[in-house]
Amino acid sequence: MATSVTRRAAMRASLVAVAAPAVLRHARGEAPIKIGMPLALTGPAAEIGEQMRHGAEFWAKTVNAKGGLLGRPIELHVEDTTGDPATCVRKAQLVVERDGCHLLFGMVLSSEALAVVPKLAEWNAIFVSSDNGDGRLTGSSFVPNFFRANISGPMETRVISLWLRRGEMKNFYAIGMDYAWGHNSIDVFKDEVAKAKKNFVGAVFSPIGTKDFSTYITKIRQAGADACFIVMQGADNNAFLSQAREYRLADKVQLVTSIVDLNSIHAVGDAALGLAGSTRYVFTIDNLANKAFVEAWRKEYGTEPDVFEGEQWQACQILQAGIEKAQSTDTDKLRAALETAAVDSIKGKAAIRACDHQAVQGGYMVKVVKKEGFKTPIPEIIAAYPGDEITPACRQMTFES
């Protein structure tokens, strides 16, 4: 589509601006704050990688234009991981050892993050995640140098279950991609359904890269559920939604997805209409900080910021808060500061808690609708939940009640 071209051109421009020595020199010649960002920029996960890069670059540009952070310019070291954990570990090690980055963003896939996290201590590096949903990163796989600024998989599932509790629907089915995120989320969902005293009638997992979902759709139809919980992303998600519309699945079953993003809506068009789901960030969130952010983003890129662009921006805000509080980027000092970092950001209040380094933040439930002034459908917020309701107890992946 036409917007992707302008967006691309704009992104190139921002890259130049970030990297331009002129900008760096403005910042009083102080040593730059180097942030390594291993991202999937090619391969199937590239959509998310691109978004994360945009979010971080936009932040770096904004900060550098104001004279930097602690008077030091932000320098991003972006590397392509192709979405492969082995390459990701190599690239992460590269930015740490070669470029001297002790701050990390990025790692698009959970498998990449899980491979990198055990090495953080050795590298003396802090990793602030903006999209890793795997509950174990703040649970069984927790390490002190990992911080999660984004909503986790269990949290987005919790948002959905809280919303469903209010409704009339009784029977639930679930379909997820056959990997950690899918299994995690569906486990949590099952647990939530049981607590709400409703029926979980079954689940099915599709291998990553599935192209034909007709069999899975048949299974969903046969299950006789009122609603189907979907845990899918990227190409699989697009294929599933397109084919669900082919079969008019939504006529029979309310589709509820764990993550609604603009990219998939653009990719599947009207097939997304009526889809309900949790979202980690949506540009229609109504607060001042977000309005200003969306405004500035539109000016820069000519589009609305998408989920991972917003999430990355918030992650940057949290890191910024931590650095400002610590007045340093020294790993130990920064870790201590980040443990109590709190921001009033585009999603409202978000605060890291010390016990598992998860950012407690509000969750949003949206429904995809047609709206005046937008060419494609957009997500409209239909419910919001405060952070303490949707965040599990420390290092837990399921909820008490």
DSSP 280-338: S--TT--SHHHHHHHHHHHHHHSS---HHHHHHHHHHHHHHHHHHHHTS--HHHHHHHH
Residue 221 Cβ vs another protein, minimum distance, rounded to whole Å: 7
- Give min distance, CB of 37 to another protein, in A: 12
Angle between helices 288-301 and 2-19 (to 10 degrees): 100
Shortest distance, position 269 Cβ to another protein, whole Å: 5
DSSP strand pairing (363-369 vs 378-385): antiparallel
Quote the least distance from Cβ 243 to another protein, whole Å: 6
Give me the least distance between CB of 273 and another protein, in Å please: 13
Name the nearest CA neighbour of 331 among 6, 100, 47.
Answer: 100
Between 58 and 163, CB nearer to another protein: 58
Question: Does residue 367 contact residue 157 with C-beta atoms inside 8 Å?
Answer: no
| Adjacency order of strands within the sheet including 342-345 | 342-345, 348-352, 359-361
Contact 45, 296 (CB under 8 A): no
Q: Which amino acid is at 58?
A: F
CB of 79 to another protein, least distance (A): 6
Question: Nearer to another protein by C-beta: 114 or 384?
Answer: 114
CA of residue 189 relative to chain centroid, distance: 19
Q: Which is nearer to another protein, 49 or 387 (by Cβ)? A: 49
Pick from 337, 334, 399: nearest CA to 363: 399
Q: Which is nearer to another protein, 263 or 361 (CB)?
A: 263
Helix axes 46-65, 2-19, angle to 10 degrees: 50
- What gap in Å lies between CA 27 and CA 35, rounded to an integer? 16
- Taking the least distance from each CB to another protein, the nearer of 205 and 385 is 205
Looking up tokens 């309701």 gives 389
Report how far apart, in Å, the C-alpha atoms of 292 and of each of 68, 296, 299, 344, 345 are.
20, 6, 11, 13, 11
Question: Which of 161, 257 has the CB closer to another protein?
Answer: 257
Distance CA 87, CA 76 (A): 19
Q: What is the CA radius of gyration of the chain?
A: 20
Nearer to another protein, 54 or 61 (CB): 54
Supply the minimum distance, in Å, between the C-beta of residue 266 and another protein: 7
By beta-carbon proximity to another protein, the closer residue of 36 and 387 is: 36
Convert 351-398 into a string of H (helix), E (strand) and C (coil).
EECCCCCEEEECEEEEEEECCCCCCCCEEEEEEEECHHHHCCCCCCCC
Separation CA 157–CA 184 (nearest Å): 10
Nearest residue (CB) to another protein, 12 versus 298:
12
Q: Which is closer to another protein, CB of 151 or CB of 203? A: 203
Taking the complex as a whole, the smallest distance from the CB of residue 378 to another protein amounts, in Å, to 15
Tell me the C-alpha distance between 247 and 253, whole Å. 11
